[in-house]
């Protein structure tokens, strides 16, 4: 355990240290402007002249004022603690102390990441369930019908090399124009993105029993459905879970991208809003929230996988 934790912690600390150092050159213009407004002496003494000077030259000339690099408003690169503060403010503080928070108004605040994360999570989970369910069904069809295998499988493989996300804005607008809006259009995109990884992984899994095993079942005179329930399905489970993990991560990306064209809440809307108004810490906080969401979703599937495989007696 110790052997694994120490290197990981070192790498994570190194990333944060690098982030703090990177804040200085990234934010130098904003830092100096803020310092100038506060009355400090800055060389060169107006923003227009400073725009002509390189970042590192500015840093060398104004060593005394650089301490403000980690507390600039609307920084180009907010420092980690600023992102942490924004995350805390827009989750706990907003809900517990805010006027529109759940404590005072009884419903989630539309300015909190919990609300936006919930919007995204709903679309992700619905889409993922639809997409992976259909994917498993299609995989079963492909394994049992040679015609389906030959006609659909090449397209399923080719479709993985296509940037499907490009369809997202169109799906949203088309569904909107025929009266479908809210969660469903985003779920459709999520479903679409998780569909093909699950099909390809599941087909591989259902085909994984080797000739010896299928021959054995044939000597038992097992029917096709027996072979499916007792051999193919159990042996496909590890493959299924691997592709489910890929699928749910893709679903989340789909839901986030699906929120870009229609600004009706969600982490994607939050990111785009932040980029319109230059609220960088809002973008970073939404990004970290999305990352945590992805990690939790993948971890949940990993946990189910471990439980299932343990009960099936598979050694990991």
Partner 1 sequence: MTLIFVLIVWAAGWGLNVMIARSKGANTAAARFAVPVIFGVTVLAIWEILVRGYDISAVILPAPSAIWTTLTSTTDVLWGDFVQTFLKGALSGYIIGCASAVIMAVIVDRYDFLRRGLLPVGNFVAALPIVGTAPILVMWFGFDWHSKAAVVVVMVFFPMLVNTVAGLRDTSVMQRDLMRTYGASYMQTLFKLRLPAALPFMFNGLKIATTLALIGAIVAEFFGSPVRGMGFRISTSVGQLALDMVWAEIVVAAIAGSLFYGLIATVEKGLTFWHPSQRK
Which positions lie near partner 1, rule CB under 8 A? 3-4, 6-12, 15, 26, 76, 146-147, 149-155, 158, 160-163, 165-167, 169-170, 173-174, 177-178, 245, 249, 252-253, 256-257, 260-261, 267, 271-272, 274-275, 278, 280, 283-284, 286-287, 290-291, 294-295, 298
Q: How far is the CB of 79 from partner 1 (least distance, A)?
A: 14
Q: How far is the CB of 283 from partner 1 (least distance, A)?
A: 5
Nearest to partner 1 of 76, 100 (CB atom): 76
Q: How far is the CB of 136 from partner 1 (least distance, A)?
A: 21
Element spanning 253, H or E: helix 233-258
How many Cα neighbours within 13 Å face the side chain of 271? Answer: 20
Cβ partners under 8 Å of residue 232, min gap 6? 143, 206, 209
Quick check: 247 and 194 in contact, CB under 8 A? Answer: yes
- Alpha-carbon span 146 to 166, nearest angstrom: 32
Nearest to partner 1 of 123, 283 (CB atom): 283
Q: How far is the CB of 169 from partner 1 (least distance, A)?
A: 5
Nearest to partner 1 of 57, 162 (CB atom): 162
Quick check: 267 and 190 in contact, CB under 8 A? Answer: no
Nearest to partner 1 of 55, 104 (CB atom): 55
Other CB atoms within 10 Å distance of the CB of residue 52: 8
**Beta strand spans in the chain (E):** none
> Taking CA 147 as the corner, what is the angle to CA 146 and CA 148, rounded to the nearest 5 degrees?
90
Nearest to partner 1 of 84, 217 (CB atom): 84
Residue by residue, DSSP assigns 184-196 as HHHHHHHHHHHHH
Nearest to partner 1 of 43, 160 (CB atom): 160
Quick check: 22 and 14 in contact, CB under 8 A? Answer: no
Q: How far is the CB of 315 from partner 1 (least distance, A)?
A: 21
Q: How far is the CB of 14 from partner 1 (least distance, A)?
A: 8
Nearest to partner 1 of 153, 237 (CB atom): 153
Q: Where are the alpha helices (DSSP H) in 91-165?
A: 94-96, 102-105, 113-144, 146-159
Q: How far is the CB of 7 from partner 1 (least distance, A)?
A: 3
How many Cα neighbours within 13 Å face the side chain of 137? Answer: 6
Q: How far is the CB of 105 from partner 1 (least distance, A)?
A: 29
Nearest to partner 1 of 8, 211 (CB atom): 8
Cβ partners under 8 Å of residue 1, min gap 6? none
């Amino acid at each position: 355990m110790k052997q694994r934790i120490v290197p990981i912690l070192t790498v994570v600390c190194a990333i944060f240290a690098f982030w703090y150092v990177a804040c200085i050159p990234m934010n130098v213009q904003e830092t100096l402007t803020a310092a100038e407004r506060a009355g400090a002496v800055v060389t060169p003494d107006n923003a227009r002249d400073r725009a002509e000077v390189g970042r590192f030259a500015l840093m060398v000339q104004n060593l005394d004022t650089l301490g403000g690099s980690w507390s600039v408003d609307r920084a180009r690169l907010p420092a980690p603690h600023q992102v942490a503060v924004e995350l805390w403010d827009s989750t706990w503080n907003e809900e517990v102390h805010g006027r529109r928070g759940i404590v005072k108004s009884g419903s989630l605040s539309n300015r909190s990441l919990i609300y936006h994360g919930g919007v995204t999570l709903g679309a992700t989970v619905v889409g993922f369930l639809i997409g992976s369910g259909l994917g498993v069904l299609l995989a079963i069809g492909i394994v049992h019908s040679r015609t389906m295998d030959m006609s659909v499988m090449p397209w399923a493989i080719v479709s993985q090399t296509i940037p499907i996300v490009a369809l997202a804005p169109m799906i949203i607008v088309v569904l909107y124009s025929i009266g479908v809006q809210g969660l469903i259009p985003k779920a459709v995109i999520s479903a679409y993105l998780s569909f093909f990884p699950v099909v390809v992984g599941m087909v591989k899994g259902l085909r994984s029993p080797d000739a010896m095993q299928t021959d054995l079942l044939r000597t038992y005179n097992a029917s096709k459905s027996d072979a499916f329930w007792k051999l193919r399905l159990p042996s496909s489970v590890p493959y299924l879970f691997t592709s489910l993990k890929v699928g749910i991560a893709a679903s989340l990306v789909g839901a986030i991208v699906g929120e870009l064209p229609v600004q009706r809440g969600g982490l994607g809307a939050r990111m785009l809003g932040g980029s319109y108004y230059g609220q960088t810490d809002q973008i970073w906080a939404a990004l970290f929230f999305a990352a945590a969401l992805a990690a939790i979703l993948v971890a949940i599937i990993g946990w189910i996988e471990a439980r299932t495989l343990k009960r099936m007696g598979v050694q990991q």
